Structure formats: C-alpha cells, structure tokens
Amino acid sequence: MELDPEAGQSLYLQLADALAGQIEAGTYRAGDRIPSVRKLREQFGVSLSTVLEACRVLEDRGLVQARAQSGHYVRAPRPRPRSEPEESASSSEAKHVDASLALRLNLGIGNPQEPTLGAAVQGPELMAVTALNRLMSHVLRHQPAACHSYDAPPGSAVLRRSIAQRGGDAGYSVSADDVVITSGAKEAVYLSIRAVTKAGDTVAIESPAYYALLEVLGSLGLRAFEIASHPRHGMNLDDLSRALESQPVAAVALVSNFSNPTGSCMTDAAKRRLVGILDRHDVPLVEDDVYGELVFEGPRPSAIKAFDTRGLVLYCSSYSKTVSPGLRVGWSIPGRYQNEVELLKLVVNQATAVAPQLALAAFLDSGGCDRHIRRVRRMYRDQMASTIDAVERFFPDATRLTRPQGGHVLWVQLPPAVDAMDLYGAAHTNGIRIAPGPMFSPSGGYRNFVRLNTGFPWSEKTERQIETLGRLVAERSG
Ligand SMILES: Cc1ncc(COP(=O)(O)O)c(C=O)c1O
C-alpha cells in the first residue's frame, strides 16, 4: 500500500482511508491495536503530523479510539447510521409570522462558560479572545480619537477593504465601497429585509428557517411563504419558481451555506439557478452566509452573491461565528440597494462601534484571522462528529439526523410521538437546553424536531446531557 503525493487528496486523508479500508476488510478487528505511530511513519514514509492527523480522522469517523500511552484501538462497529430527515413541504399560502415562541424560550445564551445544546453559540475556546483583546487595547491606545468619535455608514474603510479582499474566497468580487458595516449579521439581515419590503409584503423563506429571521419578518409586519427545503441541499427551487409565478413576493431570504437549523448547503449549480430565477422575476434575495467559512474540509463554499450580476443579492455575514459574537461586527453587500441600506443604518443606530471594527481589520490584515479560522474549523468538525456519534448511540432507532459539513447546528427528527415542546420542558427540568422545532417555522411545524448546538468542545458533561436527552426521547416515543 502506497500513498501518492501527486494525488489531489492530502496524504493524511489517503493514510486514513487506507487504514479504514483495512479495518473494513477485517485486517484489524474491534479491540485490535492498529500499528503504532512510529511504525506507520516508517511504513508509509510520512511525517509525524501526517500520521497523527490520519489517526484523528479515524477517531472522528468513530473507527478507532486513542488510549493514553498505549496507541489506537479499533472500536466496536457503530450503530447503523441514521437516515436524514426528508425534504420539508412548502406552505400553500403566505402566513402572518408570530415569532414570540422564540422570545419566550431560554436556550442558554447568557453564559459562555456553560456549554449549551440550545442557543447556536460557541465556547470561548473557539473565539479569538487573546489576539482580539491585544488588538482592541492597541487601537484604543493608538487611535483614541477615531475610536471615541461618531462613525458614519458605511463604516471603517480599512475593514471594508479587508472584507472586500476576502470576497474572492466566496467567489464574489466587490470593492470596499460596496460594503456596509453592521452590528452583526442580524442587523445586516434586518436592514436588508427592510430595504426591500414594506408591511404586508410576502417574503419566501426556506423551511425550517432561522428563527431570528422570523422575528424580523414578524416585527416588520411581513408575511412568510415557506418553501420546501432539503436537509442537505437547501431550498427546493422548483417550488420557489412556482411560488414566484403564483403570487407577488417582495423578497427571498435564506442561509446559503450550513443553514440554521438544518446545516444544509446549496450546490453551486443551485446557487446559479437561483440567481437566474431571481433575475427572471426581478426579486431580491437576502443571503445570510454567517457559517460559510466554517466548512469542515476543503475550500469554503461559494456565496450566491458570486453568481449575481444585477445586484439583486443583498449579502449578509459577520465575524460572530468565526471570531467573536460579542464584538458585534457584521456586514452587508446590498448590491443595487446600497443607498437604502446605508440610510437605514444611519437611522437605526448611526454606525457600528469603531474600536471592534479597527481591531478586526488588524486581525484580518495580519493573517491571524485565517490561522484562527483554520484551527476552529477542525474543532467544529470534531464537535459535530462527537455530537452525531452520541445521538446515534443514545437516541431511539427511529431518530433521523442531518450530517452538516460545516457550521455548528444539528437538526434531529425525533420519533413521531415525541413533542419537542414537551421535551424542551423535561430537558429544562434536567438543566439541559435545546431548541425545539416549532421555533423554526411561522406555522409552528416541526413538532417532533429539535436543533442541537455543537459549538462547544466535546466534554463528558455534554455526553451525559445527550444521554439524558436520549432517555427522555425514548420515554416519549410511545
Ligand atoms: C443563520 C444566522 N444568521 C445570523 C446569526 C446572528 O449573527 P450575528 O451574531 O452576527 O448577528 C446567527 C446566529 O446564530 C445565525 O445562525
């Protein structure tokens, strides 16, 4: 067996695949020790880090288990992988949005030291705390006048330039003048939706949808038309086309990459086709791409913005998921709606705080941000793998779940008899937070679904929480 440095795949993945093949073929069986790191280095002529990375991949795939001072042992075969939820259904009419459920629930967002399966937040280990603290004090010391003065839309020129330069990674090409800095992606989405709608209008959304989008639609008196979505590929574009043909729709809104709550990611072909549909109907799209950079392996997926030639896409993102949610720095690239979004930003809160903008710009320009994102991608990948593994071990057989390739939310379909709101209550009593399915639909659907957050490093405590949840689900499965 030989590894090929010329092959498109990295050496550690080739090595992991080779060892996985041997485990599958029965060369190594449950309980056997695979060759030591030293032996593998010699046998394959690769570096220590290549072997260690390959072993980590095997651990993530649940094939081997590391034992301290002893080596890697083949694990007993996993339970059969669960199937994914089926594509959801489109609604038959646009509905008034009542997002008050989300506001009433406690998802455990308050305390970053306390891992939560509820809110889609990350642990401090996944934030660039030390580097940003240093850069914040640097900008406050060296640029006090700028940091303490009013800024104006579109925001800091240095940050907008860095953001524009990084657009190439997502496939779009813009200049600093096209970017409007906002206080997080939530504000970017809010301003974008406001810029293209008026009260009473209908917005076509994916189903299930990020609940904060529902809050925006509800607060602006907009109606939602839910479009069927696949848990892996996102919005059903045939259904969207039909909806746009059959009624007036003011805008479409979705999360293009590693959506919340399903983790779905649209293919490039679908992104291109969606832009064609928008062009034909002259309908704008509010694209939320906060998770695109958190792809687990390989290059970051494109933004829909990459295919937009007519300025119909209002692109929204932030550094909340990648770097720090507390800094509240996001941005919009509103295309032909630039003036409207800038004016709304001015009306709502004048400008985003200056010091976080300057600190982030320095972080981006130093290359520190790229290094940080490379590191956290691996952490998010491992956390997702551990969560999936635990759900498969502890939840009843009839459970289905998604397999996101990025981001940090997992969408779980429970056996039909389980009511997610009842489960939420029981979990709460046991000190466990979850996000129940009905939060993600204006029509209160997804009664037997929950979203689990995978944003914290895996711990014994999280494993126990998932075990308890599995028991609570089993008790309610009928
Ligand atoms: C899809 C999506 N968009 C936006 C946000 C919020 O982003 P920000 O904190 O930058 O406002 C979240 C946070 O959970 C999210 O999941």
- pLDDT tens per residue across span 159-181: 999 999 999 999 999 999 999 99
Which regions of the chain carry the CATH code 3.40.640.10?
95-103+127-369
Taking the domain 372-475, which CATH number applies? Answer: 3.90.1150.10
pLDDT at 131 over 70: yes
Which regions of the chain carry the CATH code 1.10.10.10?
11-74
Dist. CA 257–CA 272, nearest whole Å: 14
Which regions of the chain carry the CATH code 3.90.1150.10?
372-475
The rounded mean pLDDT for the chain is 95
Q: Domain 11-74, what fold?
A: Arc Repressor Mutant, subunit A (1.10.10)
Is 6 exposed, middle or buried (CB count within 10 Å of its CB: 0-12, 13-18, 19+)? exposed
Q: Strand pairing of 449-453 and 435-436?
A: antiparallel
Q: How far is the CA of 210 from the centre of ligand 1 (A)?
A: 9
Dist. CA 384–CA 410, nearest whole Å: 8
Residue 261 preceded by cis peptide, ω within 30: yes
Q: What is the pLDDT of residue 78?
A: 67
Dihedral sign (CA 180, 301, 82, 71) = negative
Residue closest to 404 by CA, chosen among 246, 284, 296, 267:
296
Q: What residues are in contact with ligand 1 under a 6 Å CB criterion?
A: 120, 184-186, 210, 255, 260, 288, 290, 318, 320, 325, 330
Q: Which residue has the higher pLDDT, 59 or 420?
A: 420
pLDDT at 8 over 80: no
Are the beta carbons of 146 and 358 closer than 8 angstroms? yes
* Atom in ligand 1 nearest the alpha carbon of residue 121: 14
Tell me the pLDDT tens digit for each residue of 228-251.
999 999 999 999 999 999 999 999
Dist. CA 198–CA 386, nearest whole Å: 44
Q: How far is the CA of 321 from the centre of ligand 1 (A)?
A: 7
pLDDT at 120 over 90: yes
Nearest residue (by CA) to ligand 1, atom 7, is 185
pLDDT cut 90: percent of the chain above it: 88
CATH number of 95-103+127-369: 3.40.50.80, 3.40.50.11540, 3.40.640.10, 3.40.1030.10? 3.40.640.10
